Structure 1
Amino acid sequence: MPKVLEVLRSFGLLGFTAFGGPTAHLGYFRTEFVERKKWLDDKQYSEIVAISQLLPGPGSSQVGMALGYQRAGFAGMTAAWFAFTLPSVVLMTAFALLFDATDAGWTLGLLAAAVAVVFHAVSGMARSMAATPLTATIAVASGIAVLALPSAFTHLGMILAAGLVGIFAFKTLVDETPPAAPLRAIPAWAGIGSLILFFIGLVAAIIGGGFYPAFYQAGATVFGGGHVVLPLLEKLVVAPGWIANNDFLAGYSAAQAVPGPMFTFASYLGAVHGGIAGALIATVAIFIPGTLLTIAGLYFWGRWREAPLLQAAIKGINAGVVGLLGAALYDPVFTHGINGVASLSIAAVCWLGLAKWKIPPWAIALGAALAGWVLL
């Protein structure tokens, strides 16, 4: 099977079954592409996750695009984004124009499954990225800080602080631990050109203003992934009067219940404002800046990744990322996914299937949906 078609198939399945928000998506990706398909190893995957955490934009989508590029170049990057995003775009547009099924039992079952997926991913990453007393301490401190001070600035601040601790704590260990195998290189024209285009677009969006440029601005300035973009969009599209508050809150609920990236909340808002065409424009506008930053980030990371200080910082950042994912396991994944013994039982059985029976994520999702339909 050609690699681009392989990317389309893999991300297409995940686009229909990856419920639970950005942290859960990282768990699905790790299970599918590190454990099952072995497109890359845990160290390489952790580097991609670290890059996404340092950049503004849709974190899990940026990881997905990087995985697609790693497998099949720019065609693979495009295929990964399209296949992973399309089901969510269609569902969010349909919610805006036709119906709402956010409280259906099958969606509650899928949210419970996301708890198992994230727990499996966090525990697996902790074994390799937070296995020493110091890295475990960095992870725990990062997680507690994010939960105690919920803010996108806290998220970014803990990543930077973890990197700074890594520079001082691990610089003498860099020579003893070889870096991960290099990721697929980004051409200089693409990396530098993407960064220039990103800033041109951001300046134009801020100066020009308007409903659709607001989505570019949101995608270019939000740290912390999908859950953080929702309140930011409220300020950008509700406060000026483009979207009614009731419509916004209805879409907010729908965004918690669909698979794929939460940035497709823009598809819902675009559909409310301008129908199907509005949904497409808003979707493209919110994802463009993150795509450009992913290309630029991979390029500069590839040039600097073997610098001793950056390698030491990576060790600290990886531990910090484990802590951030652990915090997200509690809120919003656990708090949204577990509301009683039935949902906890679904989560436990899903973990058993993933961790011990090695059942594919798409089968786990289907089973959880059926269990939720019956039990919840």
Structure 2
Amino acid sequence: MHMTTTREATRLGEREPLWTLFRVVCGLSALSWGGLALMAQLEHHYVEREERLSRLAFSDLIALAWMVPGPVGCNVAVQLGHTLRGRAGAWVAGIASVLPFFMLMTLFAIFYRTPLIRAAASETLLNHFSVVLATLIAVTWYKQTRALVRGRLEWSVAVLACIALFFAHSPAAYVVILGSAFASGWVTSPVQKARLEISVGSGDRQLLLWLGVLVVLFAVPLPHDYELALLWPRLAGAGMTLFGGGFSALPVLKTLFVTPAIGVSDNDFTLAFSLSPLSPGPLLNVIPFFGYLIDGWVGALIATVALFVPSGCLVVLAQRHLYQLKTHPRFEHGMRVLRAVTTAFLAVAVLKIGYRVPLQPVYLVTALFSLVCFAKLRLPVYAVYGTVGLACGLWLVYRHIV
């Protein structure tokens, strides 16, 4: 036991080369479908294999990643890089975790704009993929609800959030709902006298101020002439409202992108989210796709930076104050209620996707097939999409021949 502890301490004292950090994180990200898969592979490599971090230290990184907005897997990678090599390591690990799906989703957007792909993406295929997406979100909602929504307060705010989100049509509503949820958890905490004392430097205060400005810019209604001009700062602000995984981002990002001023159609938006599980990375890998549709390669790059960089900066800032945040009961209670509200985003996403799909027996069969694959057989997402796409293609060919 003593020898293991000594060896681990030695490994922790070594400096991870930046190129090695980039190569490892990029390789693991390219083989990770979803943020949870990336976290598992990072833990296996740096905790079990290389012994760079203790299991307890890595669990702290995961816990903090769930507490801040943004993609959880990428947030863990950023923290890992910061732990191993400081600020430079955070940037290197963050870029490495984003690069694989940035390239793949941008390439998909390029080919998506060709006439061949446009013709292949028929309305029937889009509807079937939408059903698969809705089923996947529904299964995710069920799992998250069982894990996050337990007490009477959590259930109450989750139900109220569902009702509010269903009728919400502005970004301000999402900010108000999330802020109200955290405030209700803070106020109703069983421990009322605890004080949150954190010493924040001038640089950190400026960062928090700018992040707050971005959130306000996202929430405030703008004239149509300014929606496109301020799209990327508003996207950065939207990223500060995304808790609970990529599926919860669907209604938020739809409000931002599917407008006459931006030009992303409802079919383009749904297809991007439907196919996002086919690419490595978190479900927020759709961002480069939308960016490319709006402004080519430059748009894909700026959109990716706008969404992923602010949350990465915030999680590094929070990591420096991890102990105070974890041990403060009122803050933790507020986060519990906030996490419960994020399940409402998933429920509303299922309702809105299902509302668009025609109520026909063939789509109900696809829903039942997807439910069995995801909930019982636990098949990979790409296998389900591939099977449904192949079956739909054969059916369309058969109908054309007959």
The residue identity in structure 1 corresponding to 2:161 is S
Match of 1:148 among 145, 167, 175: 167
Q: What SS does the corresponding residue of 1:356 show, helix, strand or coil?
A: helix
Q: Of the candidates 116, 131, 144, which is equivalent to residue 112 of structure 1?
A: 131
- Could you tell me how far 1:158 is from its partner in structure 2? 1.1
Which residue of the partner structure matches residue 365 of structure 2? 345
Could you tell me how far 1:218 is from its partner in structure 2?
A: 3.7
- Once the two structures are TM-superposed, the CA of residue 83 in structure 1 deviates from its matched residue by 2.2
How many angstroms does 1:47 deviate by?
5.7
Q: Does 1:310 align with 2:334?
A: no
CA separation of 1:44 and 1:80: change in aligned 2, threshold 3 A: same
1:216 aligns with 232
One-letter code aligned to 1:269: I
Say if 1:155 and 1:324, in contact at 8 Å, map to a contact too: no
Whole-angstrom CA distance in 2 between matches of 1:344 and 1:155: 31
Structure 2 CA distance, aligned partners of 1:352 and 1:37? Answer: 30
Q: 1:98 to 1:123 in 2, by over 3 A?
A: same
CA distances 1:94-149 after superposition (whole Å, capped 9, x unpaired): 33354524325444333221122111111111111102222111111111111022
TM-score by length of 1: 0.68
TM-align CA RMSD: 4.2
Structure 1 residue ranges without an equivalent (≥5): 15-27, 53-58, 176-187, 203-208, 271-278
**One-letter amino acid of the counterpart of residue 329, structure 2:** P
Give 2:385's aligned residue: 365
Q: 2:269 maps to which residue?
A: 255
The 1:174/1:121 distance shift into structure 2, 3 A limit, reads farther
Residue 27 of structure 2 corresponds to which residue in structure 1?
Answer: 5
Cα offsets for 1:257-308 (capped at 9, x unmatched): 13234432220122xxxxxxxx111111222222221122212333253233
Identical aligned pairs, as a percentage?
12
Distance 1:138 1:87 in 2: 38
- What is the CA–CA distance in structure 2 between the aligned matches of 1:252 and 1:364, rounded to whole Å? 23
- Once the 2 structures are TM-superposed, how far is the Cα of residue 318 of structure 1 from its aligned partner? 0.8
Are residues 338 and 152 of structure 1, via their aligned partners in 2, closer, same or farther at CA, if it must alter by over 3 Å?
A: farther
Query: Aligned pair 1:84/2:109, yes or no?
Result: no
Q: Structure 1 residues 144 and 256, CA, compared in 2 at 3 Å: closer, same or farther?
A: same
Deviations 1:33-86 (A, max 9, x none): 68999879999768645522xxxxxx5xx3452244366664443233222233
Higher relative contact order (CA 8 A, sep 6+): 1
The answer for unaligned runs of 5 or more in structure 2 is: 1-22, 45-54, 82-89, 195-200, 216-224, 243-248, 277-284, 397-402
2:293 — aligned with what? 268
Q: Which amino acid in structure 2 is aligned with residue 265 of structure 1? A: F
Find out whether 1:335 has 2:355 as its counterpart. Answer: yes
Call closer, same or farther: CA 1:174–1:3 in 2, change over 3 Å: farther
1:283 to 2:338 alignment: no
Q: Give the aligned length.
A: 315
C-alpha separation between the residues in 2 aligned to 1:46 and 1:326? 24
Q: Distance in 2 between matches of 1:365 and 1:37?
A: 27
